[in-house]
Amino acid sequence: MKKYAAIAALAVLVGAASYSLLSRNQSASEQAISLRLESFALSLTPSKLADTESRRVATLLHLGLIRVDQDGTVHPGVAERWERSGSVHRFSLKQNKTFNDGTPITPEDVTASLCQAMQPASLYSWSLASIKHEVSPGSKEVKCTGIRAVGPSIEVEESAPAPWLLEALSGPAGWVVKKGAVPAEYGNVPGAGAFRLAEVRPDSRVVLQSRAGAPLPARAETIVFNYVPDDAIAATKFKSGELNVLELNSPNLIKSLDIDRNEADAYLKSATTDKLRVLIVGEEQLAKKGLNSQQIATFKRALSSAIDRRKVASISLGLANPHTAPYIVDGTTIDPSTAVDVSQLPKMKLTIISESDAFSDLIAATLPKEIGAIEIDYKGVDKGLLISSLVKHDFDLASVVIEATLKAPVFWTSFFNPASPFVAFGKPLPGTEAASPMDTQKLRETLARIRDEGNWIGVVRENKLVLNSKNVTGLRLSPAGQTSYEEIGLK
């Protein structure tokens, strides 16, 4: 129903159109698939992969032991089969397969890759925390006691089962890379994906070429990622056939398209994602401006109560759903206060900063302009300045999209863990570092603290809408709603 509702909303809001749009979009080369890059700041090392655009490219260069669909179905990757016995997962590797630099994939490469992803320096170490490991006192290095090669197979043993482990193994945390490889330009390392990096033209395009020996054979000869930052131009290129796939990530882009309602179900993929739009309250900056802790708490409650989340969802044209909680955990939301006394808030002006894009601008237009005597305005900035302000804590309010790779409570707690690299986006709450994926009660208590003491206000949870032309096959969405191009091909 969610999928059809999104499709129906898109079709109705855009309006019935010509049958020819999707059928016309077949003029791209039969040997190449043309995709879009919205920004050009490639960083392709799996353990440091933090942005959506780099991940789009990296999903074709890399592959994990398995692949997991949006509905949880598991497919072969570097492993041809797998089984579970108690706390041990056993993966049988495909034989005679190579990395995209032509060297053989060995069990030692797999164990080294997984162990590297478990190290504290890896952005995704939290997602593999259920795997048995040891940390020596005073050492930052993790000893991966739960990962071992047994002949042509890999065994992964958990201390306690984590429901997201298989999904983690299918993403950047589980991607198999060549042992000891030194990242080249753009952080590129030999991976197990079906393509190799053939060409990079800064601020223009990235070209990937299929190769032999891949565990998952390519279904297209060439993939070209074209840098198209402007939505209107992207819509035009899709209509003309210069782009084969278009991720509908802004209402303006949706309005620029004309889609036949009868065809939408076949060519539009949709999913509720793990992207959460939050307002981050810069408590340090508010304190510098004269608000005491009680006034800051009052301001946060009043601001959350004043946000018209249904209106934000409405103007998104199917791209978002109201979400009040400051994190995503299945089914968990909180109701904002309906009445907050703001009479004690002093007169001052605050600014919301946000990445400057059409969707963020639309959301900003719906946010409260005043809370009591406090006036609130909006300023669009580039991503670099936004992140710098978050790291330096020199902002009043920030509208940010937080994207999780998994529906895992421990991920959301990491934004408030004083020792976590993600804490720049949250608020240090001593004690959250004790939250463990194996301790459900502790996780619940930590999430309650984040709700009550943290500095995030939930606004909306985003939906993924992806449109492909008739001649494209194999497009998949991950459980987190991310687009996967691993099996993309042309009819």
Do 20 and 66 fall into the same domain? no
Among 158, 185, 212, which residue terminates a domain?
185
Among 185, 205, 231, which residue terminates a domain?
185
Which amino acid is residue 421, in one-letter code? P
Which amino acid is residue 297, in one-letter code? A
- What's the number of domains the chain is made of? 3
User: What are the DSSP E strand ranges found in 10-110?
Assistant: 32-37, 66-68, 74-76, 79-85, 88-93
% residues pLDDT > 70 (the chain):
89
Among 147, 166, 185, which residue terminates a domain?
185
User: What are the DSSP E strand ranges found in 392-488?
Assistant: 397-403, 456-468, 472-473, 476-477, 483-484
Least trusted range by pLDDT, from 185-199, 376-390, 402-416? 402-416
Which amino acid is residue 227, in one-letter code? Y
CATH number at residue 449: 3.10.105.10
Range of the domain at 244: 2-60+195-272+464-490
Query: For residue 106, what pLDDT is reported?
Result: 98
CATH number at residue 53: 3.40.190.10
Residue 253 banded pLDDT, cuts 50, 70, 90: confident
pLDDT in tens, 63-99: 999 999 888 889 999 999 999 999 999 999 999 999 9
8 occurs within a structural domain: yes
3 state SS for the chain: CHHHHHHHHHHHHHCCCCCHHHHHCCCCCCCEEEEEECCCCCCCCHHHCCCHHHHHHHHHHCCECEEECCCCCEEECCEEEEEEECCEEEEEECCCCECCCCCECCHHHHHHHHHHHCCCCCCCHHHHCCECCEECCCCCCEECCCEEEECCEEEEEECCCCCCHHHHHHCHHHECECCCCCCCHHHCCCECCCEEEEEEECCCEEEEEECCCCCCCCECCEEEEEECCCHHHHHHHHHHCCCCEEECCCHHHHHHCCCCHHHHHHHEEEEEEEEEEEEEECHHHHHHCCCCHHHHHHHHHHHHHHCCHHHHHHHCCCCEEECCCCCCCCCCCCCCCCCCCCCCCCCEEEEEEEECCHHHHHHHHHCCCEECCEEEEEEEECHHHHHHHHHHCCCCEEEEEEECCCCCHHHHHHHHCCCCHHHHHCCCCCCHHHCCCCCHHHHHHHHHHHHHHCCEEEEEEEEEEEEECCCEECCEECCCCCEECCCCEEC
Q: Which phi and psi angles does 132 have, rounded to 5°?
A: -55, 135
22 occurs within a structural domain: yes
Closest CA to 47 of 160, 189, 211: 189
Do 351 and 398 fall into the same domain? yes
CATH number at residue 175: 3.90.76.10
Rounded to two decimals, the pTM is 0.81
129 occurs within a structural domain: yes
120 occurs within a structural domain: yes
Task: Name the token pair of 91.
Answer: 């993966």
Do 202 and 181 fall into the same domain? no
% residues pLDDT > 90 (the chain):
55
Do 339 and 367 fall into the same domain? yes
Place of tokens 């698939």: 33
377 occurs within a structural domain: yes
Do 25 and 10 fall into the same domain? yes
More confident residue, 24 or 329: 329
Do 207 and 179 fall into the same domain? no
Query: For residue 3, what pLDDT is reported?
Result: 40
pLDDT in tens, 51-65: 788 989 999 999 999
Q: Any residues with CB less than 8 A from the CB of 197 and at least 6 apart, and which?
A: 44, 61, 100, 186, 188, 206, 208
pLDDT in tens, 389-431: 998 999 999 999 887 666 677 788 889 988 887 888 899 999 8
190 occurs within a structural domain: no
3-state secondary structure of 49: coil
Do 215 and 253 fall into the same domain? yes
Do 55 and 200 fall into the same domain? yes
Do 375 and 260 fall into the same domain? no
469 occurs within a structural domain: yes
Do 107 and 157 fall into the same domain? yes
pLDDT in tens, 443-490: 888 888 998 899 999 999 989 889 998 889 998 888 777 888 889 998
pLDDT in tens, 91-147: 999 999 999 999 999 999 999 999 999 998 888 888 898 999 998 777 778 999 999
> How many angstroms separate the CA atoms of 227 and 229, rounded?
6
> What is the average pLDDT score of the chain?
87
Do 296 and 399 fall into the same domain? yes
Do 396 and 484 fall into the same domain? no
